[in-house]
Every structure is written in structure tokens, then in C-alpha cells.
């Protein structure tokens, strides 16, 4: 099993929306991927509530069956569309992929 974890710090505004609206849209768009991409077993999206200077705004936790499924996920057109939206809205992205 592969765990794919991503953290984003978002811009104050992007896509004509404020940060909070974009965070909600990112969650909706990512959650819509569940059941749409082969090998994607689980997907959770959460928002930071601490608001520290070192905090990220949005976190993604997902599980894939194996490395091949992670590659399928990364290249899938539905994921690519969401990634494009996120890229425009984010200041910083951090990710970790590990096998367990």
C-alpha cells in the first residue's frame, strides 16, 4: 500500500475567490475523485484550524494499492484537472509518498 500525503499553503486570493472558498473547492474537487480512479482506495481532505505561521492550509491524505496506482492517479485526466486548479491557488506544496 502507498500513502500519498500533500500539504498546501494557499494564496490569499485566486480564481476570483478568497482562500477559504478555494480551500472548500479544493476539498470538493479532490473528494470527487473517490471511486473515479483505479487503485485509489481512500482519500481525505482537511483544513488547518490552528493558523500558525508554519501551518499549511489544506491537507490531503490518500491511500493507493501500489506504486503503479499512484502513477495512474498522478496521470489521470480527472486528477490533472484538479491539480491545475490547485496549482493556481497555492503558494507552496509539500508531499510525501511512502510504502507500508
Which pLDDT tens digits describe the chain residue by residue (100 residues)?
999 999 999 999 999 999 999 999 999 999 999 999 999 999 999 999 999 999 999 999 999 999 999 999 999 999 999 999 999 999 999 999 999 9
Question: What is this structure's pTM?
Answer: 0.95
Query: Is residue 32 a part of any domain in this protein?
Result: yes
Residue 33 has a CB neighbour count (10 Å cut-off) of 17
The per-residue pLDDT for 35 is 96
- How far apart CA 63 and CA 69 sit, in angstroms, is 10
Query: Is residue 78 a part of any domain in this protein?
Result: no
Query: Is residue 47 a part of any domain in this protein?
Result: yes
The per-residue pLDDT for 80 is 98
What residues contact residue 50 under an 8 Å CB cut-off, 6+ apart? Answer: none
Query: Is residue 97 a part of any domain in this protein?
Result: no
The per-residue pLDDT for 38 is 97
The per-residue pLDDT for 82 is 98
Number of domains in the chain: 1
The per-residue pLDDT for 78 is 98
The per-residue pLDDT for 37 is 98
Query: Is residue 35 a part of any domain in this protein?
Result: yes
- How far apart CA 100 and CA 45 sit, in angstroms, is 20
Amino acid at each position: 500500500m502507498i500513502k500519498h500525503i500533500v500539504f498546501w499553503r494557499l494564496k490569499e486570493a485566486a480564481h476570483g475567490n478568497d482562500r477559504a472558498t478555494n480551500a472548500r473547492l479544493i476539498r470538493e474537487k479532490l473528494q470527487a475523485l473517490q471511486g473515479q480512479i483505479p487503485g485509489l482506495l481512500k482519500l481525505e481532505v482537511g483544513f488547518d484550524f490552528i493558523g500558525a505561521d508554519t501551518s499549511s492550509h489544506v491537507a490531503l491524505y490518500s491511500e493507493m494499492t501500489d506504486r503503479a496506482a499512484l502513477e495512474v492517479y498522478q496521470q489521470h485526466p480527472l486528477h490533472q484537472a484538479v491539480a491545475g486548479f490547485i496549482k493556481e491557488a497555492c503558494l507552496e506544496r509539500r508531499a510525501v509518498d511512502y510504502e507500508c
